[in-house]
């Protein structure tokens, strides 16, 4: 006859497994992956010496389109391949010069820091004004931009306007075929493109005072008519042109804030769709460094050697122009909402958590039972909040009248739903059951998102801020911290259900090894720091599961293994063709070329900037150390519930030590620095509160061992 403990454990595992399968059927599955894989759909297919037209402005978004004010651009949008473009340059906002330097180099590049954006000056005697300033900044900023790379790849470039001269210049700053924008712009562009030239056109900064969108639209219409895409008799529809035309807003154009910009592309014989690239792998999303490789490929020239972007391709969605237009508007709204909310949301959440803890302490004498009951339930709801920040993308909150309220409402709804299921499901009968439920759901959702294209991570509160353009696919630093914390708690909890060391080691190591493959594989997690973070972090827990004493020698061996595995991953990705490499292979190539130090210096600088950006980030390390100090010394701080949990769940304390190591390693390795342990604490503190306020009468199953039941007491 089966014991009650085994029956409880079986129900716990079956319940969690069942919910995981339900979770994998979320609506996100329908829209997670495009019908064609980005990077494989609609290749440019340009023939050699083909003319290409690139029209560029600054400060123009899809919200600026209007069928009355900008009729030509409106018709172009309805028939073109469109996408939002991230204008991020070296700094948080980008000026027109930054955009032109990025277009000319295929990488992030910028002008020197200035209070106001520099107005590009016309070339003098064939030389770009202030080129020596641009070159010096490019040498100093660690982004490895090769100014003039576009002109080297496509020697026959014609430029119109002062900004276009910057992108068309050679590495020395010389521009040979330049002219100002005149009344005959359309005919000149058509003639040059017919001669096989790459034509760059600067139509100014739409964010500047007094700029006329009507005049911009008229010039674009003139170019479209001259290149055969539009006729004067039928301006409400596009014809079939013979020259590729790319319209892009390449910079914010102001220091007053950054926002997503608009880009549209017309290619002969290609249907309308959503733009993407292998550098973003997100439908409807590209970045400024993608423009140069796109123009090079459309021109039929050899690919650029040092470009950070990739040629833009089109994802066919099978939808009409209204759906495509709504998609890019949704992206703009999501990015803006995330940027607005993230400035205050997490400080408010932290203050709320501290307020609840303070209130619980003040009320615990007169309302002890109420306090414990409330903290026990709120703890698990707050623990479900981090993964809920990703699940909000399963609903179209961007289309609400007030998207910020809709986003917060979806966040609250998911947190309450998951918290309620954790507290009411059959797993509640096990002491650590609700925590295991939330941890498994967290791991399952993030793993599912990585496999299906990382769309849940885009523009959510703990997701990837697209304006920073740090990551467009794979797993981000915040998601990595959350995944690893949830994974370690889950494997520690499940391993504590068995007593044999071999079984415990297998329960811990198998999910971790699978996670290493998932998080590090190019095209999936594609996360350089995931393998050493996980392997080094989990080492202590594995040794504890095997009943082996921890030592510095064994730690050094673990570090060596992690480093070897990671170098192997980098090397294997480097063996692929250059156009198929991820940033793994590109980083290995930088090690060979000696440029890796610049990359590391930039990442270290980002860590320092994040740590010193405010007094709150400076205080964070002290808070994190304090949390782990209390968690690992529960008797010193009178945390009897946590002490009792350590007795009943043998590997829980080892998991806490492993978490401290993991978050420390993640802080050093990843470029988000202090953000990694901060996210871990955001998940861990509510769980510790939940565990501390557990009382045997709340969920203890029949047959559970009393406190102090020894190492094998968990799950009995």
- pLDDT at position 403 is 95
pLDDT higher than 80, residue 699: no
- Cα 390 to chain centroid distance, Å, stands at 11
In the DSSP assignment, the letter for residue 460 is: S
Rounded Cα–Cα distance for residues 686 and 384 (Å): 9
Looking at the chain, the whole-number percentage of residues with pLDDT higher than 90 is 53
Domain assignments of the chain as residue spans, ordered by start? 4-29+343-706, 52-332
Which pLDDT value is given to residue 113?
Answer: 93
In residues, how long is the chain?
716
Secondary structure of residue 304 in the 3-state scheme: coil
pLDDT average, residue stretch 429-439: 91
Cβ-count burial of 484 within 10 angstroms (0-12 exposed, 13-18 middle, 19+ buried)? buried
Residue 475 confidence (pLDDT) above 50: yes
- Cα distances (Å, whole numbers) of residue 395 to 322, 407, 451, 535: 19, 9, 19, 35
| Cα–Cα distance, 81 to 285 (Å, whole number) | 11
CA distance 11 to 226: 71
**Tens-place pLDDT, residues 105-164:** 999 999 999 999 999 999 999 999 999 999 999 988 878 889 999 999 998 999 999 999
SS3 407: helix
- Dump pLDDT digits (tens) for 323-370: 999 999 999 999 999 999 988 888 888 777 777 666 666 656 565 676
Provide the 8-state DSSP code for 622: H
pTM of the model: 0.83
Alpha-carbon separation of residue 267 from 79, 245, 271, 317, 577 (angstroms): 10, 7, 8, 17, 26
CATH of region 52-332, choose from 3.40.50, 3.30.70, 3.40.720, 1.20.1070: 3.40.720
Residue 22 in this model has a pLDDT that exceeds 50: no
pLDDT value of residue 362: 63
User: Is the model's pLDDT at 560 over the cut of 90?
Assistant: no
Answer yes or no: are the C-beta atoms of 598 and 605 closer than 8 Å.
Answer: no
C-alpha distance across the termini of the chain, in Å: 15
Confidence of residue 184 (pLDDT cuts 50, 70, 90): very high
- State the Cα–Cα distance between residues 651 and 436, nearest whole angstrom: 13
Beta pairing class for 285-287 and 178-179: unpaired
* pLDDT tens digits along 247-291: 999 999 998 889 999 999 999 989 999 999 999 999 999 999 999
Lowest mean pLDDT among 43-47, 411-415, 579-583, 588-592: 43-47
Average pLDDT, the chain: 83
- Please give the average per-residue pLDDT across 54-74, as a whole number: 96
Q: What is the DSSP string of 682-697?
A: HHHHHHHHHHHT--HH
Q: Is the pLDDT of residue 587 over 50?
A: yes
Separation of alpha carbons 320 and 609, rounded Å: 44
The first and second tokens of residue 137, run together, are: 């900044």
Query: Residue 97: is its pLDDT beyond 60?
Result: yes
Q: How far apart are CA 155 and CA 161, in angstroms?
A: 18
Structure tokens at 463: 């997701």
Each residue's pLDDT tens digit, 188-247: 999 999 999 999 999 999 999 999 999 999 999 999 999 999 876 666 778 888 899 999
Q: CA–CA separation, 525 vs 512, rounded Å?
A: 14
**pLDDT, greater one: 646 or 617:** 646
Element containing residue 85 per DSSP (H, E): strand 81-86
Q: What is the DSSP string of 634-674?
A: TTTTT-HHHHHHHHHSTTHHHHHHHHHHHHHHHHHHSTTTT
pLDDT digits (tens, 9 = 90+) for 23-34: 334 433 333 333
Tokens (6 digits) for 221: 């219409």
Per-residue pLDDT tens over the stretch 599-626? 666 665 655 565 556 656 667 778 888 8
**What digits encode the pLDDT tens for the residues 571-584?**
777 777 766 666 66
At 31 the pLDDT is: 37
Q: Is 306 helix (H, G, I), strand (E, B) or coil?
A: coil
Q: Which residue has the tokens 């050899």?
A: 302
Cα 677–chain centre separation: 17
More confidently predicted of 548 and 201: 201
- pLDDT for residue 73 is more than 70: yes
19 or 524, which is more confident: 524
Assign 534 a pLDDT band (cuts: 50, 70, 90): confident
| Position 20 confidence tier, pLDDT thresholds 50, 70, 90 | very low
Whether the Cβ atoms of residue 9 and residue 715 lie closer than 8 Å to each other: yes
Residue 454 contacts residue 527 (beta carbons within 8 Å): no
DSSP state of 392: G
Does 6 or 502 have the greater pLDDT score? Answer: 502
In the prediction, which pLDDT does 709 show?
37
Looking at per-residue pLDDT, the higher value among 435 and 618 belongs to: 435
Question: Between 410 and 639, where is the model more confident?
Answer: 410
Q: Are 24 and 448 spatial neighbours (Cβ–Cβ below 8 Å)?
A: yes
Whether pLDDT at 13 is above 50? no
Mean pLDDT of 433-437: 95
- Residue 12: what pLDDT? 46
533/668 Cα distance (integer angstroms) = 9
- Collapsed DSSP state (helix, strand, coil) of residue 714: coil
| Residue 702 confidence (pLDDT) | 35
3-state percent helix, strand, coil for the chain, nearest multiple of 5: 55, 10, 35
Q: What is the pLDDT of residues 359-416, one digit of tens each?
A: 666 656 565 676 677 788 888 999 999 999 999 999 999 999 999 999 999 999 999 9
């Amino acid at each position: 006859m089966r014991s009650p403990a085994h029956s409880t454990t079986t129900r716990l595992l079956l319940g969690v497994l069942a919910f995981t399968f339900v979770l994998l059927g979320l609506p996100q599955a329908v829209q997670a992956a495009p019908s064609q894989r980005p990077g494989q759909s609609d290749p440019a297919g340009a023939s050699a010496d083909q003319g290409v037209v690139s029209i560029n402005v600054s400060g123009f978004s899809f919200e600026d389109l209007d069928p009355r004010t900008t009729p030509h651009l409106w018709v172009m949008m309805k028939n073109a391949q469109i996408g939002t473009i991230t204008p991020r340059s070296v700094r948080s906002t980008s000026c027109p010069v930054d955009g032109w330097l990025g277009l000319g180099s295929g990488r992030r590049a910028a002008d020197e820091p200035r209070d106001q954006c520099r107005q590009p000056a016309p070339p003098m005697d064939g030389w770009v004004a202030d080129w020596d300033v641009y070159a010096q900044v490019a040498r100093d900023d660690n982004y490895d931009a090769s100014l003039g790379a576009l002109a080297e790849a496509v020697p026959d470039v014609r430029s119109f306007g002062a900004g276009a001269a910057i992108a068309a210049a050679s590495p020395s700053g010389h521009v040979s075929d330049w002219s100002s924008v005149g009344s005959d712009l359309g005919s000149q562009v058509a003639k040059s493109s017919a001669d096989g030239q790459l034509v760059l056109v600067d139509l100014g900064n739409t964010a500047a005072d007094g700029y006329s969108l009507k005049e911009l639209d008229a010039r674009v219409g003139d170019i479209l008519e001259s290149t055969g895409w539009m006729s004067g008799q039928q301006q409400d529809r596009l014809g079939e042109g013979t020259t590729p035309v790319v319209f892009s807003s390449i910079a914010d154009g102001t220091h007053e804030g950054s926002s997503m910009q608009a880009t549209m592309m017309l290619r002969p014989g290609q249907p309308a769709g959503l733009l993407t690239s292998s550098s973003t792998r997100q439908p409807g999303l590209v970045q400024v460094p993608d423009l140069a490789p796109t123009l090079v490929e459309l021109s039929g020239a050899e690919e650029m050697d040092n470009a950070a972007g990739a040629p833009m391709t089109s994802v066919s969605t099978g939808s009409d122009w209204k759906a495509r237009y709504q998609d890019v508007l949704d992206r703009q709204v999501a990015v803006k909402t995330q940027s607005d909310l993230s400035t205050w949301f997490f400080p408010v959440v932290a203050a709320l958590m501290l307020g609840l803890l303070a209130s619980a302490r003040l009320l615990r004498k007169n309302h002890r039972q109420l306090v414990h009951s409330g903290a026990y339930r709120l703890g698990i709801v707050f623990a479900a909040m981090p993964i809920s920040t990703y699940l909000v993308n399963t609903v179209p909150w961007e289309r609400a009248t007030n998207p910020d309220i809709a986003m917060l409402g979806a966040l609250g709804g998911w947190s309450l739903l998951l918290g309620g299921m954790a507290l009411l499901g059959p797993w509640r009968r096990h002491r650590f059951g609700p925590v295991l439920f939330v941890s498994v759901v967290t791991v399952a959702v993030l793993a599912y998102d990585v496999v299906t294209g990382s769309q849940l991570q885009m523009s959510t509160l703990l997701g990837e801020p697209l304006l920073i353009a740090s990551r467009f696919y794979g797993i981000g630093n915040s998601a990595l911290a959350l995944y690893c914390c949830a994974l370690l708690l889950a494997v520690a909890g499940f391993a504590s259900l068995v007593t044999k060391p071999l079984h415990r080691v297998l329960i811990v190591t198998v999910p971790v090894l699978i996670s290493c493959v998932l998080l590090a594989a190019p095209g999936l997690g594609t996360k350089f720091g995931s393998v050493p973070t996980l392997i080094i972090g989990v080492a202590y827990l594995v040794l504890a599961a095997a009943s082996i004493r921890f030592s510095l020698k064994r730690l050094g061996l673990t570090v060596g293994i992690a480093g070897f595995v990671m170098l192997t991953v980098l090397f294997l990705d480097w063996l692929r063709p250059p156009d198929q490499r991820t940033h793994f292979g590109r980083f290995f190539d930088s090690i060979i070329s000696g440029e890796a130090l610049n990359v590391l210096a930039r990442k270290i600088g980002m860590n320092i900037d994040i740590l010193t950006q405010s007094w709150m980030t400076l205080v964070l390390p002290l808070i994190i150390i304090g949390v782990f100090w209390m968690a690992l010394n529960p008797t010193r701080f009178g945390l009897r519930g946590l002490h009792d949990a350590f007795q009943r769940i043998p590997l829980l304390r080892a998991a806490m030590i492993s978490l401290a190591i993991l978050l420390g390693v993640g802080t050093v390795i990843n470029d988000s620095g202090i953000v990694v342990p901060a996210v871990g604490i955001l998940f861990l503190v509510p769980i510790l509160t939940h565990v501390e306020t557990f009382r045997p009468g709340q969920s203890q199953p029949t047959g559970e061992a009393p406190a102090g039941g020894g190492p094998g007491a968990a799950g009995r």
